[in-house]
Copies of this chain bind each other. A is one copy, B any other.
Amino acid sequence: MEPDLQLYSVRTDLALEAKEMAQGPQRTPIPGVNEEVEESEGIKVTRLGVANAAGSQAIGRAIGNYVTLEVPALRGGDTGLQQKVAEVFAREFEDFLTRIGIGKEASVLIVGLGNWNVTPDSLGPLVVENALITRQFYELVPDQVSPGYRKVSAIAPGVLGLTGIESSEVVQGIVDRTKPDLIIAIDALASRSLERINTTIQIADIGIHPGSGIGNKRRGLTQEILGVPCVAIGVPTVCYASTIVNNVLEMMKNHFGQGAGHTKEIMGMLDDISEQERLSLVKEVLEPLGHDLIVTPKEIDEFIEGIANIVASGLNAALHDAVDPENVGAYTH
C-alpha cells in the first residue's frame, strides 16, 4: 500500500480506542494488556497497563501505563461537573505519579505542545498559561517559599512552522539547563469516536511519540531522548475526517449485515473490498483538502477553554499539596 494512503485510515491517539479496535466487537481480552475500570458520578476511569511486547504489538502502543477519564456530560458545560472532573483528575494524576515512582519533591517542567493560533491545537499552550508556576521563587527567594509547593516551570515551545525549531529541541535545551526531575507534556489529540472529543483526558507515562497528537510532531519527547521521565496528558479535540468516513463504511456493513435479502448480500460484498480500495475511496472524497482535514463541533473555541481549565486546575492541585482539590479553580484565570 502507498504509505500516505495509511493517513486516510482510522486514526486515534487514545490507547483505549486502539485497544477497543484491536479487541473487535466481541471485546476479546488481549494478552499483555490489563484493564481496570471504575465509574462514579458520570466519570469513568479506565486504567490500562500494556505489560509486554505482545500487548504492545497487539494494540500498537508502547509498553506503559495509560489512564483515561471519560465524562460524556462535560459537553453540557456544567460548571459544577467541571469542578468535579478537575478533582478526580487531580487525584488520579497524583496516584499515577506515585505509582510510577515520582516523589512529592520532584521538580517539574510542564511542556504545552501545539500551536496557539490553531484553536483545536491550542490545548497545550492554554494549560501552560493557567499552570501555577513556582520555580522562580525557589531560585530567587528559596527561604520564603511556603511548604506544600514544589518547583514547577512551564514552556510552550511553539511549532516547527512558526519557530523553525523542533519542539523537542527547545525542550531538550531547557532540560539541559534547568534539570527538572519530571516532564509533563500536554498535547491535543485525535480520537476515533466523536463523543470523546473534549470529554476525555488521557494520562500516559510513555511521553510523546513522533506522529502522535494533532500537530506535526516530528520528534518525540520521551525518557530515552530527554533523559528524564516524561508523562503525557492529552485530550482529543478533533476527529480526522478520514476517520469519520471510515466509520460510515464500517457502519454500513453493520447496517446491511443486520438486514435480510439483498441488503445482507451487500454486506458480503462490502467485506470483499480490499482495505486499499477502501482507503482510496476515502482519499478520493477528502482529496481537495487532504488528510489533515478535521471534524470539530462548531463550539470548539469554548470547549477547549473549558477542558484546558480542568487540566490546569487538576495539575495545580496534584502537584502542590497546598492547593486544595476543592478549590482548584481558584488558581486559573
Contacts and interface: CB of A to CB of B under 8 A. Distances in A.
B289 A294 contact: no
A28 interface: no
Nearest to A284: B251
23 contacts: A80-B330, A117-B302, A121-B298, A129-B162, A133-B164, A152-B164, A154-B163, A154-B164, A155-B158, A172-B173, A173-B175, A194-B293, A195-B288, A197-B289, A214-B298, A241-B244, A244-B244, A248-B281, A251-B285, A252-B281, A255-B281, A293-B295, A302-B333
Contacts of A276: none
Nearest to A176: B173
Interface stretch (A30-38, A61-69, A264-272): A264-272
A101 interface: no
Interface in A219-252: 238, 241, 244-245, 247-249, 251-252
- Ranked nearest first, the 4 interchain pairs of A and B with the lowest CB-CB distance are A173-B173, A135-B164, A153-B164, A195-B288
| Contact-residue size bin, chain A (C-beta under 8 Å from the other chain) | 35 or more
A228 to B, nearest CB: 14
Contact of A330 (B79, B252, B269): B79
Interface of A is mostly: helix
Interface of A: 75, 79-80, 117-121, 128-129, 133-136, 151-158, 160-165, 169-170, 172-178, 193-195, 197, 214, 238, 241, 244-245, 247-249, 251-252, 255, 262-263, 265-266, 269-270, 272-273, 281-282, 284-286, 288-289, 292-302, 305-306, 329-331, 333
A64 B299 CA distance: 33
A163 B133 contact: yes
A293 B299 CA distance: 9
Contacts of A263: 269, 273
* Best-buried of A160, A174, A270, A272 by chain B (most CB within 10 Å): A174
